[in-house]
Structure 1
């Protein structure tokens, strides 16, 4: 595995590179880093060149100052530019949580680059925010807490970063921290201890409400045209509140969907089942 940083789209993007073959881009979610893909990426690297970056604002990647710089459109442009620098004008794309929302925007804005799309444990951003019910609002309160003006959430989280983020894993994430690999948790804890990472993550959620909602509203009539897989945690908040596949059906021309054991963080806690689902969908020997 190679760990590198490249300047693309005006910021530094930290990433890991594994394997050989067609390009496969894996995008992590909140409150994680690219370390989340460790148990999965090594196996996929036997038939793909696997690229696992930190999203802007997260981990070792750049953390711009302005909220508007954290739109999923900007995050998607980072990844298209990174893959192009690495020699991949086309690639397969997988995203979990915020990475899944970035992947959806990337597939809309750069459809010719995406050979297949996998989104994990999300419903469309516009749907979640425009048709919000009390059960989702209670489960996913962090969307609205993190989006509060600076420095309120940063200050409150800063009093006990690990306590707050562990509450995310165990609360709405429905995960047992014992199910995470030690290397993953060590990487997450290191990121959570960095006030700049906390600021970047808050700006990500601020941008969802202030920028991404309007971008998605303008694109409600558009579909992702490549083969698309939606995976969701069988015991997660999204599966409890929505027919996850049905939320994506109008937005994807070629859709399949599948539940995976676990809650929201099933790629971390159930990597074997997650990998099996990806292998059934992704092309190759």
Structure 2
């Protein structure tokens, strides 16, 4: 297994962000999902190693309020699209000019917003995402904010049970996470029409948590949809996810 190299850098507002890197070759920026981190989404189940074996360098930040990155408790640290601004700062910090961009769930939403904000990856992969999941974030955020607010009283059978259980496993800083949830901006279907980056939409066969992945692929000018095993939570544990990402980026 390739060694994971971890470093830190100061983002646009001096917030401390951790970056984990594996492999050598064409850079691939990988953005993890909500309440996750680089290790859980990309390293633990072998996806980063598969990319390294295919000749890529996996560059995996822990998003703000996650993992080993800073978790500020001030509302001012979470302006609109703050994760996009962090990604822009990381691309500038590393001097990336020819790279690919991958995101899962919240990371996929962020990847789309990054391209709309001016980042220009060669190829892009959107995992665990459907067309409907890019808009209407308020409803999705409200679900997670409610889970945070009722954290200690949520029991098995409650719709928020698995979200709370995952937050416990990940040792989420709930104050920081709650602020971050309010910073995510929506993307309309109309905005997707101008995104010409060749894109793979990849989603678990039992995952429609964020709407229709086929509809998302259809809404993008140059995209295709690939199904892999699993639900929204379990698809990241399946080797087929890494195979799909590496295969598309190497193609």
Q: TM-score, normalised by structure 1?
A: 0.72
Judged with a 3 Å threshold, the aligned counterparts in structure 2 of structure 1 residues 190 and 87 are, in CA distance, closer, same or farther, namely farther
Aligned to 1:118: 125
Conserved? CA contact 2:129–2:212, under 8 Å: no
Say which is worse superposed, 20-29 or 219-228, in terms of deviation: 219-228
Identify unmatched segments of 5+ residues in structure 2. Answer: none
SS at match of 1:31: coil
How many residues are matched? 241
Conserved? CA contact 1:29–1:97, under 8 Å: yes
Give the counterpart of 1:245 among 214, 222, 238. 214
In the alignment, structure 1 residue 203 sits paired with structure 2 residue 176: no
Distance in 2 (alpha carbons) for counterparts of 1:232 and 1:70: 29
Greater helix share, 1 or 2?
Answer: 1
Judged with a 3 Å threshold, the aligned counterparts in structure 2 of structure 1 residues 127 and 99 are, in CA distance, closer, same or farther, namely closer
SS at match of 1:3: strand
Conserved? CA contact 1:68–1:207, under 8 Å: no
Aligned to 1:49: 57
Conserved? CA contact 1:57–1:204, under 8 Å: yes
SS at match of 1:55: coil
Conserved? CA contact 2:123–2:199, under 8 Å: yes
**1:126 Cα offset (Å):** 6.9
Distance in 2 (alpha carbons) for counterparts of 1:234 and 1:221: 23
SS at match of 2:78: helix
Deviation per CA, 1:37-93, whole angstroms, max 9, x where unpaired?
11211221231111111111212212342177253x321221222133223123101
Q: TM-score, normalised by structure 2?
A: 0.81
Conserved? CA contact 1:24–1:49, under 8 Å: yes
Distance in 2 (alpha carbons) for counterparts of 1:245 and 1:126: 12
Aligned to 2:23: 19
SS at match of 1:14: strand
Give the counterpart of 1:74 among 63, 74, 82. 82
| Superposition pairs of residues 114-153 of structure 1, within 5 angstroms | 114-124=121-131, 128-129=135-136, 143-147=141-145
Computed over aligned residues only, the root mean square deviation of the Cα atoms, in angstroms, reads: 3.3
| Superposition pairs of residues 226-241 of structure 1, within 5 angstroms | 226-238=197-209
